Amino acid sequence: MDSSDLKKVLRYTKKYLPLIIISILLAFVCVAATLYVPILIGHAIDHIVYGKVEFDMIRNILIKIAVMVMITAVCQWIMSTINNYVSFKVVRDMRQAAFEKLQILPLKYVDAKAHGDIVSRIISDADQFADGLLMGFTQLFTGVITILGTLGFMLYYNRLITLVVVCVTPLSLFAAAFISKKTYSMFLTSSTTRGEQTALIEEVLGNEKVVKAFSKEEEMLEKFDEINERLGKVSLRALFFSSLTNPTTRFVNNIVYAAVGFAGAYACINNNMSVGVLACFLSYANQYTKPFNEISAVVTELQNALACAGRLFELIEETPQPAEAENAYVLKYAAGKIDIEDVHFAYTEDKPLIKDFNLSVKPGQNVAIVGPTGCGKTTVINLLMRFYDVDAGSIRVDSTDIRDMTRESLRKNYGMVLQETWLKAGTIKENLTMGKEDATMEEIIAASKAAHSYSFIRRLPDGFDTKIGEDGGSLSAGQKQLLCITRIMLSLPPMLILDEATSSIDTRTERHIQNSFKRMMEGRTSFIVAHRLSTIKNADVILVMKDGNVIEQGDHEALLKMNGFYAKLYNSR
């Protein structure tokens, strides 16, 4: 068991300390009432065994037993409610912390991790941890208090027999401790493999059309079967070893029970103990050993819970993106002047991508970025939006380094349409107003007409109030891209980024949209990433990139006259 993870869990329970104290007090009451019942039963037996049967006394004893049982039941119900509340609140807080951390993690963390594994940590691992924590709260308190209370009562009645019990019991603890050490790493492996399986399922579901198009169903099945088989083996191994705990401790407990019975019978024969006290002692021996079984089961479950909590804490404790300075500049409405000076950047240290990148963009200029796949076009966009920070050099907007301004204000000044569309589950209207939530219906209709999405939106069952599923549901790729273009035309920020913004749209509609783009880009600094060079002929500046470097720069006519790399790209279309 990782003690550091346990300490982290305890920190999350601090705010619920009053409720935990109440639960412990209730556990004391439950245990006291439960331990008092065997004494009453012993007295009842003595009233039956020795002399005549005293029914009045037995009736009074039975009433007391009934009262104790009622008190125990009520206390257990309240305690269970409190434990459930605390457990689920703690898990809620941890899940909230994990999701909040996800919002401030650098983009490179999300890019480097399987999305399904992240989902598994926040959902599945949190649920597994909740189950283990609930069992810990419910059984650990009562178990420990029962052991201490029973031991006290047994010492009061007969120290010799109590000594026999105490001497044999450690065998149970040693067995449980030995097995629990072995099972922690197994449960951690099981949790990691489960995350791997979730990642594969999420990946296949998100790209089902691609899987079917390339007839990869069998390959995906084989991969899933391999992970599933591995998960089955590691889970079975963990459960097998953890399941040894209970029978082992039960075996030791039965030895304790037999030892108490033998020693107690011998004491009764020698008139050192009554039959009622022996019955009480046997009941105590049972109650004393039973919590060891429960605690050993709790320890086993906690191995799994802490293994899952460890994976969740890994996410919570990931290094967030650099915090913004307290006096960070808030960019109100950018003029659009952008200066890029001596920028170096690499996704991994051993593979530099952009080197000595320099560019000066005047307000309102249209800058096109072209080049072969992997040359760094999208990377430039990531740096402009500050999804990644430069390794060296600087990017300035209106003469202010973007690292000295708030990310939110910087990104609000950009309108971005990517080749990969993103739409949330909700209505068409909710998706269009993400950048301008106070937009009027007239503005929304005007923007949709400018983006040429109005015609297909009004044909939908409920028009702008039509609900769509995650990532656009059944809408075509072109329709989804039109909605994203409409979203930008509605908010109209001072700077634009168009990364293959019309790649999924038919040629006729694209021509209309290009005219709308021209009107939209007037007076706005724009960056256009395009593979179809015909769409960027009118750009003020064309950057030709290769291997992370700008190898040519100028307008369309000037670049053709250079007869260099751009001319080859243009003439090869």
Cβ contact 340:543 at 8 Å: no
37-51, 95-109, 210-224, 517-531: lowest mean pLDDT where?
A: 37-51
Tens of pLDDT, residue by residue over 380-420, are: 888 888 888 888 989 999 888 888 888 888 888 888 877 77
Domain 3-315 has CATH 1.10.1740.10: no
- The three-state DSSP-derived secondary structure of 194-258 is HHHHHHHHHHHHHCHHHHHHCCCHHHHHHHHHHHHHHHHHHHHHHHHHHHCHHHHHHHHHHHHHH
DSSP state of 346: -
What pLDDT, on the 0 to 100 scale, is given for residue 242? Answer: 73
What DSSP string describes 41-63? HHHHHHHHHSSS--HHHHHHHHH
pTM for this predicted structure:
0.64
Cα 465 to Cα 530: distance, rounded to the nearest angstrom: 33
- The sign one gets for the Cα dihedral 506, 508, 511, 512 is negative
Q: Which residue has the tokens 């191995």?
A: 303
Pair of tokens at residue 36: 């008092």
Rg of the chain over all Cα atoms, to the nearest angstrom: 35
Tens of pLDDT, residue by residue over 271-322, are: 777 777 777 777 777 777 677 666 666 766 777 777 778 888 888 888 888 7
What pLDDT, on the 0 to 100 scale, is given for residue 291? Answer: 72
Enumerate the CATH 1.20.1560.10 domain ranges in the chain, comma separated.
Answer: 3-315
pLDDT surpassing 70 at residue 492: yes
What DSSP string describes 69-118? HHHHHHHHHHHHHHHHHHHHHHHHHHHHHHHHHHHHS-HHHHHHS-HHHH
Select from 161, 114, 425, 153 the least CA-distant residue to 268: 161
pLDDT surpassing 70 at residue 121: yes
Give the distance between the most distant pair of CA atoms in the chain: 123
Tens of pLDDT, residue by residue over 173-232, are: 677 667 766 676 777 788 788 878 888 887 787 777 777 777 788 888 888 899 888 888
pLDDT band at 157 (very low <50, low <70, confident <90, very high): confident
Pair of tokens at residue 448: 């949709």
Cβ contact 128:305 at 8 Å: yes
Q: Comparing 20 with 256, which gets the higher pLDDT?
A: 20
Cβ contact 529:500 at 8 Å: yes
> What's the CATH code, domain 338-571?
3.40.50.300
What pLDDT, on the 0 to 100 scale, is given for residue 547? Answer: 77
Query: What is the chain's mean pLDDT, rounded?
Result: 80
Tens of pLDDT, residue by residue over 53-88, are: 677 777 888 888 889 889 989 988 998 888 888 888
**One-letter amino acid of 449:** K
What pLDDT, on the 0 to 100 scale, is given for residue 237? Answer: 82
Cα 193 to Cα 237: distance, rounded to the nearest angstrom: 13
- The sign one gets for the Cα dihedral 393, 397, 399, 403 is negative
**One-letter amino acid of 167:** C
CB crowding 74-88: b at 16 or more within 10 Å, else e: ebbeebeebbeebbe
pLDDT surpassing 60 at residue 1: no
Select from 506, 458, 464, 449 the least CA-distant residue to 481: 506
H helix or E strand, kind and range, residue 23: helix 17-49
Enumerate the CATH 3.40.50.300 domain ranges in the chain, comma separated.
Answer: 338-571
Q: Comparing 442 with 566, which gets the higher pLDDT?
A: 442
pLDDT surpassing 70 at residue 501: no
- The sign one gets for the Cα dihedral 303, 309, 314, 319 is negative
Tens of pLDDT, residue by residue over 550-569, are: 888 888 888 888 888 888 87
Q: Is 327 exposed, middle or buried (0-12, 13-18, 19+ CB in 10 A)?
A: exposed
